[in-house]
Structure formats: structure tokens, C-alpha cells
Amino acid sequence: MYSFKNDYSEGAHPNILKALMESNMEQTEGYGEDKYSIGAIKLLKEKLKRNDVDIHMFCGGTQTNLTAISAFLRSHEAVISANTGHVLIHETGAIEATGHKVISMEVEDGKLKPIHIQMAIDEHTDEHMVKPKMAYISNPTEIGTIYKKKELEELYGYCKKNNMILYIDGARLGSALCSKENDIEISDLPKLADVFYIGGTKNGALLGEALIICKEGLKEDFRYHIKQKGGLLAKGRLMGIQFLELFKNDLYFELARHANFMAETLRIGIKKCGYEFLINSSTNQIFPILPNKIIENLQEKYLFFVWQKIDENNSALRLVTSWATKEESVKSFIDDLKLISK
């Protein structure tokens, strides 16, 4: 059985393990104050071309989201999210558990736009309702779509005009930045959001997300919040070493490009077999619509999520590729599909 279920099925990129081995018996400071973490932060600042951002490393996305959002908001302030947003649906109420409402806005393509923020602001008129204060977006979105530079500029401009914080969940940021449709450089991001994170777990790390705080007023005392929410690893070097490896020689982008290429290969192959897609995605998640019988057939050799029922006879799948996806497995999947589809 080969799995297209997600992009965290394997361990870490070999370079990372190698670096862990080499540094293993060295003594370092704890809690992210070691030379590796410091080095990783320095390297990330170079990649971002910004020395005035604060960078903190976390061991998971939910941990990052809940720590950042609760650190930045007062208790009556709320987050706006697309109805597909990870913080809204898939984090067991982590944000609410820190005391904040997540306002759901119905969108079509997973993307929050100024109009949605406007609507949320208009609906929340007085002190009997929460006050929308942050816009949460994911890039790529939970359904694989990405934001174009112009979209982010408009969104961020709108947020700033309305005194709102723009937060980008970058769990799969590499895949967005390496998408063929993308027109954003990683160094553009500090100009396009108040805060964002660069996801490592889903792009070759054992674990690790790097949170970038760009807006001055959000930086103060942030390490207190990491500790309070349980995210301050004693051996913080574990994340420093990984981010150093990922951004040395741009391995991070190389891995994301591979994941995207594997997804694109699948997409083209599936399309050639005559199938449509639920969503037009250019990242490492694709959503082909297949007849149920064919799906059952594929399930004998492949693991993947059946995403959504389309009609009595057809369903959409979610296929996810990663830095570790093998070209031969992709080829084999397409060959099998061709064969079954005849």
C-alpha cells in the first residue's frame, strides 16, 4: 500500500538526520537559546531580507496558531476565518479554549477576501458581540488554492486600514511559494502580513514551524506565551538544526518543488484519463473526481482520503504528495488508473 494521505507519512529529509547525528553530543543551551536556533533565526532573517522581525520556533501548527492568536488578542477580540480554515474546524476548538471566538465566513475557494472582512465587521456592530480583530488565512489554503501577491496586498491593506491583524498559517507555505501560479517571494511576506509561519513538519522536518512576527506591537514578551502554552522545548536545538538544514542551500524550496511536481504529474495523468477536479489546485493537494467503483479499486493499492461525495456514483478524492513522494509511485498510480478506467 502506498499512501497519498498526507505529507507527513515519512520521517525527515536525510540531511536533517545527518545534521542531528553530527551535532548530537555537543552541549548547548536549552529552550531555543542554543547556537543552532540562533543560527537558524539568522538564516531565516537573511532569506526574508529583514532584520527587524522576531522569529520563534514551535513543534506543531496548532501549537503555533493557539499561542500566537491568544498572545495577540484581548479577550473580547475574535479571529475571522474562511469556513474551511484549520483553526475553525480542525483544531478541536484550540482557539476557543484560549477564550476567543473564530468567526466563520462562507467562501468559495478557501480564500478570505476584503469583502469577507468587511461583512464580518459590518455584522459586529457593538459590545454585545465580539470584535473582529484578526484575519486568519492559510497559504496554500486547506483545499490547495493559493493567494496571489495582489490578493495579499489588498487583503493586508484592508486589514491595516481597519486596524486588524493579518495572520498567515503557512503549514504548507513551501508548496504555495513553489506553485507555478505563485508570484510571491518569501522575502515579500513580511510586507504582506503582520505575522506568518513557515511550516517545516509538512515539508521535510521531523517537526517544526517558524513563526515570524513582523508587527512591532506584537513582539513583546512572546516567549512567555510559548512557555505558558507548553511549546518551549527543552532541546529547542532540535528545531534550530532542522531549519538550518532546510534553508541552507534552499533545500526547503527544492523539497516543495518536488512535492508540487509530483502533484502536477498526478493531475496531468488523471486528467488524461478524462476526469475532472473538484478544485483547481496548483499545490501539493489535488482533488480529482472519480467513479466510486474506480475508487474502490484504487483503494486496494493506495491510501488516500475520500474527500466528498459528488453524486450517487462519483466522489472527490484528496491526494497529497510530499518531498518524499516517489516518482515511481505516482507513475504506478496513473498507470493503474488508466488500466481501470478503460
Distance CA 117, CA 162 (A): 9
Site string for a copy of itself, 135-174 (x = CB under 8 A): ----------------------------------------
* Distance of closest approach, residue 90 Cβ to a copy of itself, in angstroms: 5
111 binds a copy of itself (CB under 8 A): no
Residue numbers 292-311 binding a copy of itself by CB under 8 A: none
* Region near a copy of itself per CB under 8 A, out of 150-158, 172-180, 218-226, 254-262: 218-226
251 binds a copy of itself (CB under 8 A): no
11 binds a copy of itself (CB under 8 A): yes
Among positions 92, 163, 300, 342, the unique one binding a copy of itself when judged by CB under 8 A: 92
* Distance of closest approach, residue 274 Cβ to a copy of itself, in angstroms: 29
Cβ neighbour number for residue 217 with a 10 Å cutoff: 9
Based on C-alpha coordinates, what's the Rg of the chain?
Answer: 20
228 binds a copy of itself (CB under 8 A): yes
**Which residues, in sequence order, are CB contacts of 310 under 8 Å at separation 6+?**
278, 289, 316
φ, ψ at 105 (rounded to 5°):
-115, 130
Residue numbers 29-48 binding a copy of itself by CB under 8 A: 29-30
> Considering beta carbons, is residue 24 or 51 the nearer one to a copy of itself?
24
Q: Is residue 197 classed as helix, strand or coil in its secondary structure?
A: strand
* Region near a copy of itself per CB under 8 A, out of 54-62, 175-183, 285-293, 306-314: 54-62
| DSSP bridge pairs for 134 | 79, 165
Among positions 116, 172, 229, 267, the unique one binding a copy of itself when judged by CB under 8 A: 229
210: enclosing H helix or E strand: strand 209-213
Angle at the Cα of 129 from the Cα atoms of 110 and 214, rounded to 5 degrees: 55
Q: Are strands 285-286 and 289-291 parallel, antiparallel or unpaired?
A: unpaired
